[in-house]
Amino acid sequence: SSTTPEMDEKLKERIAKHPCYSEEAHHHYARMHVAVAPACNIQCNYCNRKYDCANESRPGVVSELLTPEEAAHKVLVIAGKIPQMTVLGVAGPGDPLANPEKTFRTFELIADKAPDIKLCLSTNGLMLPEYIDRIKQLNIDHVTITLNTIDPEIGAQIYAWVHYKRKRYKGVEGAKILLEKQLEGLQALKEADILCKVNSVMIPGINDHHLVEVNKMIRENGAFLHNIMPLISAPEHGTHFGLTGQRGPTGKELKEVQDNCSGNMKMMRHCRQCRADAVGLLGEDRSQEFTKEKFLEMAPEYNL
Ligand code: SF4
Ligand code: SF4
């Protein structure tokens, strides 16, 4: 079922028009991602840098990178054409908070020109404590943190390195810094009353059995939705950075872990692992109707 009894009315109202946060909403409301954030500050072993960030997006897809001005132009064009468009997310193709100027400029422009659109951000969490004040100022409604483990030893198998404040940390040391910042970020979101969803990439043999513990921790720390996503590992996507030959979970394995977690927390089961430039309802990707070449031509009056 899609709502837990304890999910209060107010929360329901807050997510009613968010296609990812509310399963009912995803049939009626649309979201878009704009790809304005190319850089990343960590190296996940399952990432292939040629493609979109695998933490929120569909691996094996190359999104069209835009400037903040182009992104705002695109949002205005699409909001005019797709009336169900309620949410704008920045989710890549790298980590949005590793590109703070581009990401926040995009949000500022959209808040200014299309104030009805809700803003959404996803991040690996490393820079979340640093930018929590700007996130609050901009009224960003929803934040997704990708949190794959709460154990730095496991983290060392998932992350090759973490680049924090001009220094690169490897192995357990890097994984510890990332985890510390993710926990601080989670806490800060809770204090700011910003809705937080957690994504976890399920990697068989590495964090699969551990995800129940991750689920418990995030539940206790205020996240309201957990999205366990399968590692997508297909030869045509090229090799992962450090997990060569790693398989993804079967549908059955994924469901089992989701079932084991769902105690009293809502699990997201309708995630489509969208592209960093996705447009439309969750099941219908219309990104190719709104390529840069096309949207620039459609409504030149929105040129910023
Ligand atoms: Fe790749 Fe990980 Fe960075 Fe996403 S957060 S772009 S998956 S290295
Ligand atoms: Fe929603 Fe999942 Fe797509 Fe993100 S990747 S927009 S959470 S369906």
Rounded Cα distance between 230 and 209, Å, is 13
Residue 300 counted as domain residue? no
The pLDDT of residue 102 is above 90: yes
Q: Which of 57-66, 91-100, 200-209 has the lowest mean pLDDT?
A: 57-66
Torsions phi, psi of 157, nearest 5?
Answer: -85, -20
Query: Pairing state of beta strands 225-230 and 195-202?
Result: parallel
Q: Which of 90-104, 183-197, 289-303 has the lowest mean pLDDT?
A: 289-303
- The C-alpha angle 240, 102, 76, rounded to 5 degrees, equals 105
Q: What pLDDT, in 10s, does the model give residues 151-162?
A: 999 999 999 999
Torsions phi, psi of 123, nearest 5?
Answer: -155, 155
| Mean per-residue pLDDT, 261-268 | 76
Q: What pLDDT, in 10s, does the model give residues 68-100?
A: 999 999 999 998 888 888 899 998 899 999 999
The ligand placed nearest to the CA atom of residue 91 is 2
- Cα 133 to chain center, whole Å? 19
The pLDDT of residue 20 is above 50: yes
- Cα 129 to chain center, whole Å? 17
| pLDDT value of residue 4 | 54
Q: What percent of the chain has pLDDT over 90?
A: 56
Q: Which of 7-11, 47-51, 169-173 has the lowest mean pLDDT?
A: 7-11
Residue 177 counted as domain residue? yes
pLDDT band at residue 53, thresholds of 50, 70 and 90? Answer: confident
Tokens 């790693």 belong to: 246
Residue 174 counted as domain residue? yes
Rounded Cα distance between 277 and 292, Å, is 11
Cβ 40 under 6 angstroms from ligand 1: yes
pLDDT band at residue 2, thresholds of 50, 70 and 90? Answer: very low
| pLDDT value of residue 98 | 97
| pLDDT value of residue 204 | 94
Residues comprising the chain, all counted: 304
| pLDDT value of residue 166 | 94
Bridge partners for 149 per DSSP: none
The residue whose CA is least distant from atom 1 of ligand 2 is: 20
Q: 300: how many CB neighbours lie within 10 A of its CB?
A: 10
The ligand placed nearest to the CA atom of residue 279 is 2
Kindly state the tokens that stand for 288: 């190719």
| pLDDT, averaged across the chain | 88
| Mean per-residue pLDDT, 100-108 | 97
Helix axes 100-113, 68-81, angle to 10 degrees: 40
Residue 1 counted as domain residue? no
Which of 48, 95, 243 to mutate for ligand 1's pocket (most ligand atoms within 8 Å of CB)?
95
Q: How far apart are the first and last CA of the chain?
A: 44
Rounded Cα distance between 17 and 41, Å, is 32
Which residues lie below 8 Å from residue 74, measured CB to CB, with a gap of 6+? 32, 34, 66, 290, 292, 295
For residue 142, how far is its CA from the centre of ligand 1 (angstroms)? Answer: 20
Query: Which residue ranges have their beta carbon within 6 Å of ligand 2?
Result: 20, 31, 56, 271-274, 282
Atom number in ligand 2 closest to CA 56: 5
Dihedral of CA 27/29/33/34: which sign?
positive
Tokens 């447009």 belong to: 279
| pLDDT value of residue 60 | 63
Residue 55 counted as domain residue? yes
CATH value at residue 156:
3.20.20.70
Residue 128 counted as domain residue? yes
Kindly state the tokens that stand for 42: 């960590």
Rounded Cα distance between 179 and 128, Å, is 11
| Mean per-residue pLDDT, 285-289 | 85
| pLDDT value of residue 1 | 34
Q: Which of 14-18, 50-54, 263-267, 276-280 has the lowest mean pLDDT?
A: 263-267
36, 102 in Cβ contact below 8 A? yes
Residue 201 counted as domain residue? yes
Cβ 94 under 6 angstroms from ligand 1: yes
DSSP 63: P
Q: What percent of the chain has pLDDT over 70?
A: 93
Atom number in ligand 1 closest to CA 146: 5
- Tell me which residue of 129, 124, 119 sits closest to 34, measured CA to CA: 119
Residue 297 counted as domain residue? no
ipTM of the complex: 0.88
- The C-alpha angle 266, 267, 269, rounded to 5 degrees, equals 135
* Containing structural domain, residue 107: 9-292
Q: What pLDDT, in 10s, does the model give residues 29-44?
A: 888 889 999 999 999 9
| pLDDT value of residue 268 | 86
The pLDDT of residue 175 is above 90: yes
- Cα 66 to chain center, whole Å? 18
Exposure pattern of 122-159 as b/e (b: 16+ CB <10 Å)?
A: bbbbbbbbebbeebeebebbbbbbbbbbbbbebbbbbb
pLDDT band at residue 140, thresholds of 50, 70 and 90? Answer: very high
Helix H or strand E segment including 163: strand 159-164
Q: How many domains does the chain have?
A: 1
